[in-house]
Amino acid sequence: MQIPISKVVLGEAEKQAVLRVLDSGTLTQGEEVAAFEREFANLHQAAHGVAVNNGTSALIAALLAHDIGRDDEVIVPSFSFFATASSVLAVGGVPVFADIEPDTFCLSPEAAERAITPLTKAIMPVHLFGQMADMPAFADICARHGLALIEDAAQAHGATLDGRYAGSWGTATFSLYASKNIMAGEGGMVLTNDADTAERLRVIRNQGMARQYVHERLGYNLRMTEIAAAIGRVQLAGLNAGNAQRRANADFFNAHLRGVTTPVERTGSASCWHQYTLMLPAHVDRDTLVRALNDSGIGAKVYYPIPLHRQPVFGSVQPSLPHTETAAAHVVSLPVHPHLTTEERAYIVETVNRLAGA
């Protein structure tokens, strides 16, 4: 068998949506984008959606919309994709790394609060692997300290906590890259419940213009194409069904995998299972296991082997983040995408159990 870590499936509906755009003659910032913004925001219980060209641009636009700039500190997890922290550098800010919860892999509220200084302007929790961070705690911390709350929801399409969707707590950013639960080939979305923030975001993504050739603030060309929006709208319609199948796959793995620590869901949380990430025992050599899984046709991956605080671009001063270091050394992600067959699920379980046991 050959089982990829993710699988892009484009059907007739996506093809017809693209043709509809080509026939319209409008390729950028038209009705498809506007409709996608409304539909995406509505599904996630947010008032406003602002579409951009990719997930990194979404993070940069969100930071700029909150006037985060030179020397402003933003507290982020080190156990995340590079863009979580590089976006802070891109606006002139300083990413401050805090440790994660050892079971959920999400930013620890306690660690984040300890990292607050007079220069802190925002906290950016990441809903990692589809599981939401402890948003009630972060909302309380930000309210008490007067900080912006920016959700990195790049991997959390349709995830909920206590019945409330990712993207409805603060200013939230999503990626629409090909591997995500909703994909548009490439693209991003920013959600907010604040009308003023939404307007700033629209200006930022359009070269800083609210009116043509009148540049009110620093902005960039971050616009989403009509083709990307049209594909995204079709994908959005299938999100709930796709997430339900991801959950069924995760439940099967939870029930049948042996000798490893299966993912933990936060109480009240409904992960969208962007990744199924388990922890290996300390005595299991991860690199050997991953190679053996790959050789067996299973597209196992490691997200993320080098924590961000140890990346050279962020300097040589390394904080002590023990839970981050442990996760980075021992996690492995297995295919959990909604296109897995019953036979593929069983094969993954049998192979992991045999190799981990050996």
Both tokens of 236, joined, read: 């959005």
pLDDT at 74 over 90: yes
The predicted pLDDT at position 333 comes to: 98
Q: Could you tell me where in the chain the CATH 3.40.640.10 domains are found?
A: 12-237
Buried b (16+ CB within 10 A) or exposed e, 315-330: eeeeeebebbbebbeb
Q: Which amino acid is at 215?
A: H
Tokens 């950016």 -> residue: 124
Model confidence, pTM: 0.96
CA–CA separation, 145 vs 151, rounded Å? 17
Half-sphere exposure in the Cβ direction for 213 (13 Å, CA): 0
pLDDT one-digit tens code per residue, 215-252:
999 999 999 999 999 999 999 999 999 999 999 999 99
| pLDDT average, residue stretch 125-136 | 98
The predicted pLDDT at position 71 comes to: 96
pLDDT one-digit tens code per residue, 79-101:
999 999 999 999 999 999 999 99
CATH architecture of the domain formed by 12-237: 3-Layer(aba) Sandwich (3.40)
- CATH fold for the domain made of 239-357: Aspartate Aminotransferase, domain 1 (3.90.1150)
How many CB atoms neighbour CB 77 within 10 A?
31
Report residue 324's pLDDT band, with 50, 70 and 90 as the boundaries.
very high
Q: Could you tell me where in the chain the CATH 3.90.1150.10 domains are found?
A: 239-357
The predicted pLDDT at position 237 comes to: 97
Strands (E), 193-330: 209-211, 214-215, 269-270, 276-279
Check if the beta carbon of residue 127 is closer than 8 Å to that of residue 153.
Answer: yes
